[in-house]
Chain A
Amino acid sequence: MATEAKKKSPHLKRFHYTQDVAVDKPFNWKQMVRLMTFVKPYAKTLLPIAVIAMLISTAVRLIVPVLVGTYAIGSVIPSEDINWLIQLIVGIIILYILSYIGNVVRIKYVNLLGQNVIYDLRKKLFAHVQRLSNRFFDKRSAGSIIVRIMNDINSLQEIFTNGIINLLMDVVMLVSIIGILLYLSPPLALAVMIIIPIMFYISTKLRKNIRRSWQDVRIQQSRLNSHLNESMQGIRITQSFAQETENTEYFNGVNTDNYDSWKTATRKSAMFRPFVEMSNAFGTAILLGVGALLIINGTVTVATFVTFALFIGMFWEPISRLGQMYNQLLMAMSASERIFEFLDEEPNVKEKENAIELKDIEGHIVFDQVEFAYDEKRKALHEISLEMKPGQSVAMVGHTGSGKTTIANLINRFYDPTKGSVKVDGYDLRDVRLDDLRQRISVVLQDTFIFSGTIMENIRFGRPDASDEEVIEAAKVVGADEFIQRLAESYETEVEERGNILSAGERQLLSFARALLANPRIIILDEATASIDTETEVKIQKALKRLLKGRTSIIIAHRLSTIRDSDNIIVLEQGNILEQGNHDELMKQKGEYYELVKSQFQENA
Chain B
Amino acid sequence: MDVFKKLQQYYWPYKRYFILSLIGMFIVTLVTVVYPIAIQQTIDNVMTPADFTLLPYIIIGFILLMIIKSVAIYYQQYLGDLFGISSVYLVRDDLYKKLQRLSFKYYDNAKTGDLMSRLTADVEGFRFFLSFGCAELLRILSLVIVSLGVMFYWSIPMGLVTMSAMPFLAVSVYMFDKRVHPAFRGIRKSFGRMNTRVQENISGMSTVKSLSREDFEISRYEDKGENYRDHYLKTAGIWAKYFPFMEAVGNFCVVALLAFGGYLVMQGQLTVGELSASFILVWYIVGPLMNFGFVVNMFSQAKASGERLLEILESDLEIEDSKRPEGEEIKGHITFKDVTLTYVEDDDEALKNVSFDAPPGKIIGLIGATGSGKTSITQLMTRFYEPEAGEVLIDGRSVSDFSLKDLRKDIGFVLQEPFLFSTTIKENISYGNPEATQEEIVQAAKYAQAHEFILEMPEGYDTVLGERGMGLSGGQKQRISIARALLINPNVLILDDATSAVDMQTEFRIQEALKEVMDQKTTFIIAHRISSLKHADEIIVLDEGEVVERGKHEELINNEGTYKRIYDIQYQDREAILGKEVKQHV
| A259 neighbours in B (Cβ, 8 Å) | 85-86, 89
| A134 neighbours in B (Cβ, 8 Å) | 206, 209
Cα–Cα, bound, A257→B329 (Å): 37
| B586 neighbours in A (Cβ, 8 Å) | none
Chain A's closest residue to B266 (CB) is A80
| B102 neighbours in A (Cβ, 8 Å) | 235
Contact A89 B198 (CB under 8 A): no
Cα–Cα, bound, A528→B12 (Å): 57
Cα–Cα, bound, A306→B89 (Å): 50
Contact A266 B85 (CB under 8 A): yes
Q: Would A532 and B528 be within 8 Å (CB), given that A143-B467, A244-B101, A306-B43 are in contact?
A: yes
Contact B569 A451 (CB under 8 A): no
Cα–Cα, bound, A441→B501 (Å): 27
Chain A's closest residue to B60 (CB) is A285
Cα–Cα, bound, A122→B227 (Å): 13
CB proximity to B under 8 Å, residues A50-106: 64, 68-69, 72-73, 76-77, 80, 82, 85-86, 88-89, 92-93, 96, 99-100, 103-105
| A89 neighbours in B (Cβ, 8 Å) | 255, 258-259
Contacting chain B: which of A125-133, A360-368, A416-424?
A125-133
Q: State whether the Cβ of A14 lies closer than 8 Å to any Cβ in chain B.
A: yes
Chain A's closest residue to B433 (CB) is A241
Q: Would A285 and B93 be within 8 Å (CB), given that A150-B198, A239-B408 are in contact?
A: no
Q: State whether the Cβ of A330 lies closer than 8 Å to any Cβ in chain B.
A: no
Min CB distance A438 to B, Å, is 4
Q: Would A141 and B467 be within 8 Å (CB), given that A259-B89, A266-B78 are in contact?
A: yes
Cα–Cα, bound, A123→B421 (Å): 35
Q: State whether the Cβ of A21 lies closer than 8 Å to any Cβ in chain B.
A: no
Contact of A604 among B475, B508, B572, B573 (CB under 8 A): B508
Q: State whether the Cβ of A107 lies closer than 8 Å to any Cβ in chain B.
A: yes
Contacting chain B: which of A165-173, A289-297, A383-391?
A289-297
CB proximity to A under 8 Å, residues B467-504: 467-468, 470, 473-475, 484, 488, 497, 500-501, 504
Q: State whether the Cβ of B315 lies closer than 8 Å to any Cβ in chain A.
A: no
Contact A233 B419 (CB under 8 A): yes
| A412 neighbours in B (Cβ, 8 Å) | 209-210
Contact A107 B569 (CB under 8 A): no
| B74 neighbours in A (Cβ, 8 Å) | 270-271, 273-274
| A514 neighbours in B (Cβ, 8 Å) | 211
| B93 neighbours in A (Cβ, 8 Å) | 251-252, 255
Cα–Cα, bound, A604→B504 (Å): 10
Contacting chain B: which of A111-119, A205-213, A474-482, A485-493?
A111-119
Contact B236 A108 (CB under 8 A): yes
Q: What is the number of residues of chain B that contact chain A, defined by CB distance less than 8 Å?
A: 156
C-beta contact mask, A233-273 vs B, less than 8 Å → 1, else 0?
11111111111101110011001101100110011011101
Contact A122 B225 (CB under 8 A): yes
Q: State whether the Cβ of A215 lies closer than 8 Å to any Cβ in chain B.
A: no
| B27 neighbours in A (Cβ, 8 Å) | none
| A119 neighbours in B (Cβ, 8 Å) | 225-226, 228-229
| A116 neighbours in B (Cβ, 8 Å) | 229
Contact B221 A235 (CB under 8 A): no
Q: Would A111 and B43 be within 8 Å (CB), given that A243-B431, A278-B70, A537-B569 are in contact?
A: no
Contact A445 B96 (CB under 8 A): no
Q: State whether the Cβ of B416 lies closer than 8 Å to any Cβ in chain A.
A: yes
Cα–Cα, bound, A156→B540 (Å): 61
Min CB distance A541 to B, Å, is 9
| A96 neighbours in B (Cβ, 8 Å) | 248, 251-252, 255
Contact B422 A16 (CB under 8 A): yes
Contact A14 B569 (CB under 8 A): no
Contact A236 B107 (CB under 8 A): yes
Contact B370 A240 (CB under 8 A): no
Q: Would A530 and B272 be within 8 Å (CB), given that A111-B232, A111-B233, A230-B421 are in contact?
A: no
Min CB distance B50 to A, Å, is 7
Contact A228 B195 (CB under 8 A): no
Q: State whether the Cβ of B578 lies closer than 8 Å to any Cβ in chain A.
A: yes
Contact B501 A126 (CB under 8 A): no
Contacting chain A: which of B111-119, B153-161, B177-185, B439-447?
B111-119
Q: What is the number of residues of chain A that contact chain B, defined by CB distance less than 8 Å?
A: 160
Q: State whether the Cβ of B207 lies closer than 8 Å to any Cβ in chain A.
A: yes
Min CB distance A252 to B, Å, is 7
C-beta contact mask, B457-470 vs A, less than 8 Å → 1, else 0?
00000001011101
| B10 neighbours in A (Cβ, 8 Å) | none
Cα–Cα, bound, A467→B46 (Å): 87
Q: State whether the Cβ of A33 lies closer than 8 Å to any Cβ in chain B.
A: no
Q: State whether the Cβ of B169 lies closer than 8 Å to any Cβ in chain A.
A: no
Chain A's closest residue to B431 (CB) is A241
Contacting chain B: which of A177-185, A195-203, A373-381, A593-601?
A593-601
Contact A149 B258 (CB under 8 A): no
Q: Would A239 and B384 be within 8 Å (CB), given that A444-B210, A534-B569 are in contact?
A: yes
Chain B's closest residue to A499 (CB) is B111
CB proximity to B under 8 Å, residues A416-437: 435
Contact A232 B243 (CB under 8 A): no
Q: Would A281 and B212 be within 8 Å (CB), given that A103-B247, A233-B468, A531-B416 are in contact?
A: no
Contact of B81 among A150, A270, A285, A444 (CB under 8 A): A270
Cα–Cα, bound, A514→B52 (Å): 90
Contact B263 A82 (CB under 8 A): yes
Contact of A236 among B92, B209, B415, B464 (CB under 8 A): B415
Cα–Cα, bound, A258→B210 (Å): 43
Contact B266 A82 (CB under 8 A): yes
Cα–Cα, bound, A313→B36 (Å): 11
Q: State whether the Cβ of B150 lies closer than 8 Å to any Cβ in chain A.
A: no
Contacting chain A: which of B1-9, B273-281, B393-401?
B273-281
Q: Would A285 and B204 be within 8 Å (CB), given that A277-B69, A564-B577 are in contact?
A: no
Chain A's closest residue to B205 (CB) is A137
Contact B573 A288 (CB under 8 A): no
Most buried by B among A280, A302, A305: A302
Contact B239 A107 (CB under 8 A): yes
Q: Would A285 and B199 be within 8 Å (CB), given that A236-B419, A564-B577 are in contact?
A: no
Q: State whether the Cβ of B434 lies closer than 8 Å to any Cβ in chain A.
A: yes
Min CB distance A507 to B, Å, is 11
Q: State whether the Cβ of B189 lies closer than 8 Å to any Cβ in chain A.
A: no
Cα–Cα, bound, A96→B427 (Å): 68
Cα–Cα, bound, A238→B570 (Å): 35
Chain B's closest residue to A57 (CB) is B244
Cα–Cα, bound, A10→B574 (Å): 53
Q: State whether the Cβ of A284 lies closer than 8 Å to any Cβ in chain B.
A: yes
Cα–Cα, bound, A229→B258 (Å): 59
Contact A16 B104 (CB under 8 A): no
Q: Would A226 and B422 be within 8 Å (CB), given that A107-B244, A313-B280 are in contact?
A: yes
Contact B77 A273 (CB under 8 A): yes
C-beta contact mask, B87-103 vs A, less than 8 Å → 1, else 0?
00100110011011110
CB proximity to A under 8 Å, residues B163-215: 194-196, 198-214
Chain B's closest residue to A225 (CB) is B120
Q: State whether the Cβ of A23 lies closer than 8 Å to any Cβ in chain B.
A: no
Contact A103 B243 (CB under 8 A): yes
Contact A242 B70 (CB under 8 A): no
Cα–Cα, bound, A538→B580 (Å): 24
C-beta contact mask, B67-84 vs A, less than 8 Å → 1, else 0?
101110111011001100
24 pairs, A vs B, C-beta closer than 8 Å: A15-B423, A85-B266, A105-B240, A107-B236, A130-B201, A130-B218, A141-B467, A145-B202, A233-B112, A252-B93, A266-B82, A270-B81, A271-B74, A284-B38, A292-B46, A292-B55, A302-B272, A306-B276, A438-B209, A442-B211, A443-B206, A449-B206, A531-B416, A583-B577
Other A-B contacts than A11-B434, A68-B258, A235-B99, 16 sampled, CB-CB below 8 A, are A18-B466, A89-B255, A99-B244, A108-B240, A119-B228, A229-B116, A255-B96, A266-B81, A270-B75, A273-B73, A292-B55, A444-B210, A530-B500, A531-B500, A564-B576, A600-B504
The 10 closest A-B pairs by CB, nearest first: A449-B204, A443-B210, A241-B432, A281-B66, A438-B212, A111-B236, A531-B500, A274-B70, A103-B244, A107-B240
